[in-house]
Amino acid sequence: MAIYGAVRLDKVAAIAGGIESVKHSVRLENGMIHHVAGLASGEREVKSVVTPSTASILTDSILLHASPELNYVEGETILDFSVEVGKIGRSYHLEVGDIITVTDAVITGASVVGQFLIPANNSLKLTAAANLDGGTRFAARVLEKGSIYGQASTTFQVIKN
């Protein structure tokens, strides 16, 4: 079986207004990032997920996908969980100071303590960056490398959004 991304919300300030129900045309793993657009087709409260682009990472806020891991197949674990295409998931508006841990499966490149994670063009994964020279609305500082659910993980704190 595939190993999907997993997330631990260590310290997240999101309250009812900071949580969105979302739907996308691709499988969403916990720990992926995205923007939201208007309502999903045929929905009253579910927003459409938008993959970051070169232009949007400069202007739009980032949300973190973190749906409750519900597995109904014997032997499956948190790492087997994802939200299928067309199904509704849960995402959080991130605020400066939020602390989150994700498995490295949802990070592009090797994250390094003291360096940064930023969004990248056409990707739902955060990307490791040595500095913030390229310009981005969202940035997180890597606080710690570790392990969750038996997988390598990165703990980060939001410093811009």
Q: For the segment 15-42, what is each residue's pLDDT rounded down to a tens digit?
A: 767 899 999 989 999 999 999 988 999 9
What are residue 151's phi and psi, to 5 degrees?
Answer: -120, 150
Smallest CA-to-CA distance from 124 within 21, 26, 9 is with 26
The rounded mean pLDDT for the chain is: 93
In the structure, what pLDDT confidence band is assigned to residue 71 with cuts at 50, 70 and 90?
Answer: confident
pLDDT at 125: 97
Give all strands of the β-sheet with 7-11 in edge-to-edge order. Answer: 7-11, 99-103, 151-160, 139-148, 116-118, 126-129, 107-108
- For 1-117, where are the alpha helices, taking DSSP H only? 56-59
Q: What three-state secondary structure class fits 86?
A: coil
DSSP letter assigned to residue 57: H
Q: How crowded is residue 87: how many other Cβ atoms within 10 Å of its Cβ?
A: 13
pLDDT at 17: 73
pLDDT at 2: 74
In the structure, what pLDDT confidence band is assigned to residue 119 with cuts at 50, 70 and 90?
Answer: very high
Q: Which two tokens stand for residue 108?
A: 């592009």
pLDDT beyond 60 at 97: yes
Give yes or no for a contact between 28 and 82, defined as CB atoms under 8 angstroms apart. yes
Beta partners for residue 99, in sequence order: 11, 157
Give yes or no for a contact between 29 and 5, defined as CB atoms under 8 angstroms apart. yes
pLDDT beyond 80 at 49: yes
In the structure, what pLDDT confidence band is assigned to residue 65 with cuts at 50, 70 and 90?
Answer: very high
pLDDT at 16: 65
pLDDT beyond 90 at 1: no
Q: What is the mean pLDDT of residues 140-148?
A: 98
Q: What is the mean pLDDT of residues 58-65?
A: 94
pLDDT at 134: 82
